[in-house]
Structure formats: C-alpha cells, structure tokens
Amino acid sequence: MGFKILRPDSISVWKNEELLKRFPRYRGIIDNKEVARYIIAKSIKCEYDTKDTIEDLENLLKKKSVEFNELLKNPTEDLKNRSIASKSYINLAEELANKYLESCIFCERQCKVNRIDGEKGFCLISKDSFVSSAFLHMGEESPLIPSGTIFFQGCNFGCVFCQNYDISQAWKGRRNIEDIAQKVDVLQLAALADKLVGKGAININYVGGDPIPNIHTIVGSFHHQTSNITQLWNSNFYLTNESLSLIIDFIDFWLPDFKYGNNECGEKYSGIKGYYNVITRNLKRIHDFGSGEIIIRHLVMPNHVECCSKPILDYVAQKIPKCVVNLMCQYHPEYLSHKYKEINRRTSIEEMHDVKNYADELGILYEPVS
C-alpha cells in the first residue's frame, strides 16, 4: 500500500458512534471484515444469451437481484471464499447496459440515441468512456479519505453555476474530447481502480462530469477488478429506474447531490425536467433497497434556503432518515451564474446558519461530514 498523508479528521471521524452505526459495512470493508458487494455479485452465476431481448434480460436481472440480496442477508458460506463465476450477475448487467446504449436511457433525459453507432445525446458521449483524471483525493468528506477518484468526461446536466465546467461543459463544441481525456475500456478502467487501491485508496469514487453516461464501462470493469474495495457512486443522481437497477446491488456507498427542493429550480439552473421527483425516487430506492449507506451533498445556494434547502432537509428527515448530509458552503459564482442576479454572489454566513439550525431542529446528522 502506498504512503498516504491523511487529514486528522479522517481518523477522528470514526470515533463518532452514530456514524459507525450508519456506515457499518463500509467500515467493515475498510477493515477487511466485510466483502464488497461487487465481489459477491461476481460469484452469482447467470445463464443468458447475447441474443436475448431487453425484456428477457431485465427479468433475469430482477431474479438475480433477489438471489444477491438473499445471499447478502443470509450467507450460507464465507462470502470471501466464493468462486468467481465465468458468467456472472456483473456480466448480465453489463450486457443489458450495452443494449440500453442502442437507445440510451441511462439518465432521465432519455435521449434515446444509438450511442453504439456513434450518436450522441446531451452528454456528448458515445459508446466510449473518457477519464480526465484519476488520483487519491484528500478533499472529500472525512470518512471517505483517501478516496480513489476517477473523473469522467461529460455530464447530463447543464448547471449554470458548474464548478467543474472544464470537465462537463467547457469543451463542448470547442475541442475534441480525445485531446483532453483518456479513452478507457473496461480493462483499462479496472486497472486504474486497482492502481488507486495500491496507492492507498479506501474507496473507488466514480465522479465527473458525471458517471451516469459511463454506466456500461463502470459495470463492465467490476468483472476485472480484483480488490476488496468500496465502490462509491458520486453523481447528480438523475438516473432512470432501469439504469439504477444496473448498479444498485454493486455499489457499497452512495454520494449523491441533492441540489434543489423543487422541479422549477432544477429546470431553471440545470436545464432538466422533473428534478425533485426523480431524485427523491432514486434516493428512496437506495435508502430502502440498496446499501443504505449514503452521504447526501447539498450545496446551499444564495436566496435558495426556503425553496430548496429546507424542503430537502424535510424530505431527508421524513423519508430517508439513515442518510448523513454534507451541508456545503462552497458555492461561488462560476461559469454562467453572472447571468442570474439572485445567485451571483457567495452564500452568506447567515444563510448557512439558518440551514444548519434547521437541520439541528430536524435531528439530521451533518456535522461529521460538513
């Protein structure tokens, strides 16, 4: 394992008993006492044919999900010693993901372009995946450090205040993507992940841009990764039900954004429809039927405490109470935000205090990660 310098809070945070209570399997994987979900999935045999229809594959995926979750909850043997299937639950999900690429429905934009044939939707990513950087990140939430972050090119959002616009927006229509990022296949992505583990990563953190357009490559890489390591999904979380089904059993830890407390702000500032409905649906699903180990990132925006921050906290407290929330104060005007007077300033100290006080009133855990 490579040498690493840790922030002091990445060690002291684990003294928080409530945090340990909410993230038991994640901590267990770090200590090599638990087995990463993707490794368990690789041991589940699947029989299917590449000529099977999408409907046939979806039905089989549902059956294998039931088998996976029964095994996870009531293991009949040591999960560490199960043999890897030559054709597994992972391979099935990859096969289905590649079929979805023929009429892409990975995100709720549902562009339905044939990415296999080189067509591109809003994200401007065809069947190929491109990584702009991969490194040990020491600036993530304290329980996640050191995080093996893999930044993918492209994004399905068009946020006017995007702070990663060089990755997600700025290159569009101006530069060839291959000039600014490395094209990776499933083997190369797996090698990147294993290399990060060798350097000391305690999770593999798929981010961007956004990982959603790259689900097929990420899932495919799981078959070739070898390390008992937490798989972490760091995303705007605007997935379809179909694409979430491809990853819900394989991801150990979730790091979703929850930007807006209504649909209107989502459409105005990120150019997407039905934001709140989609995000709450997906969050509820991973909370109840996924690993349930979740840190929600909420960027507190100026003049959006009442319309966004407080409704988001209400939803967390009422519907997904196991979540931990990072209340982020890093907002600053970027990219196109100067065109919107109401968000063309930093979030004030008073606004941050108001949001944190409200979180305290609701009993939401945020301090260890904010």
Residue with tokens 């101006």: 174
Give the pLDDT confidence of 76-114 residue by residue, as tens digits: 788 988 999 999 999 999 999 999 999 999 999 999 999
- Find tokens 């979540």 and name the residue: 323
Q: Taking a C-beta distance cutoff of 8 angstroms, is the pair 338, 289 a contact?
A: no
Going from N- to C-terminal start, the domains of the chain cover: 36-249, 258-370
Q: What pLDDT does 168 receive?
A: 57
Determine the average pLDDT of the residues in 201-225: 97
Structural tokens at position 341? 């007077």
Percent share of the chain, pLDDT over 70? 95
Rounded Cα distance, 320 and 248, in Å: 16
Residue 170 scores a pLDDT above 70 = no
H or E element at residue 167:
helix 165-168
Please give the CATH number for the structural domain made up of 258-370: 3.20.20.70
What is the token pair recorded at 148?
């093996």
Reported as a single tens digit per residue, the pLDDT across 46-56 is: 999 999 999 99
The answer, yes or no, to whether residue 4 has pLDDT greater than 60, is: no
Judging by beta carbons within 10 Å of its beta carbon (0-12, 13-18, 19+), is residue 215 exposed, middle or buried?
buried
What whole-number distance in Å separates Cα of residue 150 and Cα of residue 144? Answer: 14
Q: Is the pLDDT of residue 334 over 90?
A: no
Nearest partner of 218 among 98, 120, 103, judged by Cα:
98
Please tell me the predicted confidence (pLDDT) of residue 2.
Answer: 44
Q: pLDDT at position 222, please?
A: 98
Q: What is the pLDDT of residue 165?
A: 67
Residue 140 and residue 166 in contact, taking contact as beta carbons nearer than 8 Å: no
Give the pLDDT band of residue 35 (cuts 50, 70, 90): very high
Helices (H) and strands (E) in the chain, counts: 14, 8
153/350: higher pLDDT:
350
Region 161-174: mean pLDDT is 65
pLDDT of 181 reads: 84
Are 153 and 130 spatial neighbours (Cβ–Cβ below 8 Å)? Answer: yes
- What mean pLDDT comes out for the span 287-314? 98
How many other CB atoms are found less than 10 A from the CB of residue 192? Answer: 18
Q: What is the mean pLDDT of residues 20-32?
A: 97
Q: What is the pLDDT of residues 56-76, one digit of tens each?
A: 999 999 999 999 999 999 887
The Cα-based distances of 198 to 1, 144, 184, 212, 305 in angstroms read 5, 16, 19, 26, 42
What's the pLDDT band for 171 if we cut at 50, 70, 90? low
What pLDDT shows up at residue 135?
A: 97
What does the pLDDT look like over 258-270, one tens digit per residue?
999 999 999 999 9
Structure pTM?
0.95
Largest CA distance in the chain: 60
Mean pLDDT estimate for the chain? 94
Cα(43)–Cα(40) distance, integer angstroms: 5
pLDDT band at 5 (very low <50, low <70, confident <90, very high): low
pLDDT at residue 153 tops 70: yes
The Cα–Cα gap between 225 and 165 comes to 30
